[in-house]
Structure formats: structure tokens, C-alpha cells
Amino acid sequence: MRATNTFYALGVLRIITALLFIEHGTQKLFGFPASAHGPVALLSLMGLAGILEALGGLLVLTGFKTRYVAFILSGEMAVAYWTAHAPRSFFPVDNGGDAAILFCFVFLFFVFAGAGAWSLDGRSASPREIGLPAE
């Protein structure tokens, strides 16, 4: 029973994380939700980040190739923190890097834990590949 609850909680965490992450991507690519910066140039580092966040977020949301996509997104967030946030201040609360750190480690968790419930990965994978303990 406990493993099943964990499996569904993992699915909820994946979906909520993906929805929040997609929002960061659409803000960079389309200026929605509205931002003080507006949309960024597509062929820039921030444009690449927006593409990774929007498309990667959609893949994580659907649970398609979650472990691979999460590995890439975790790396993106580590790079984002160390290049854009850390130079501003040592403390994440002061440099605005709280979300980048959380996204980095939540995605790293998905690399090892799998997609959880309600994922496309779960339709054709073994229980271990989607985060459910083997019986």
C-alpha cells in the first residue's frame, strides 16, 4: 500500500513541477505570463533555455522519456544557477536562484525515481523504470 501511495505522489510531483517549469519557458518564449523582460530572442542562450523549459516541461508533464529529459533539465538548471544567479550573491534568497536550485534537484530526483503514475513511460515500461518497486 505504501509503495502505491509513493508511486501516485511521484506522479503528482512530476505533473506540478512540469506545469511550473512550462510557465518559465512560455514566459521566455512568448512573454506569457507577462514579465518585465518580455520575450527573449529565440537564437540566444535565454531562447535556448526557454525552448528547453517549454518542450522539456511538456515531455515531463506527459511522462515521456522522463529520466532522460529530467537529466537534461537538471543540468540546465545547474548551469542557470551558476551562470545567472550565483554571481549576484552567495545566498539564493538574495540572488533569485531558489527556483533554479529546487528545479535542479527535483529533476535529478526524477532521474533516479522515474516518472511515477499517469505517465507515457508507464504504458510500456517495467515497474522499476517508472518508479514502482518490483514485486
Look at the block and give the residue holding cell 511550473: 20
With a pLDDT cut of 90, the percent of the chain lying above it is: 81
Tens digit of pLDDT for each residue in 48-97? 999 999 999 999 999 999 999 999 999 999 999 999 999 999 999 999 99
> In this structure, what C-alpha cell is assigned to residue 117?
503514475
Average confidence (pLDDT) over 29-48: 90
At 129 the pLDDT is 58
SS (H, E, C) the chain: CHHHHHHHHHHHHHHHHHHHHHHHHHHHHHCCCCCCCCCCCCCCHHHHHHHHHHHHHHHHHHCCCHHHHHHHHHHHHHHHHHHHHCCCCCCHHHHCCHHHHHHHHHHHHHHHHCCCCCCCHHHHCCHHHHCCCCC
Domain segments of the chain as ranges? 2-130
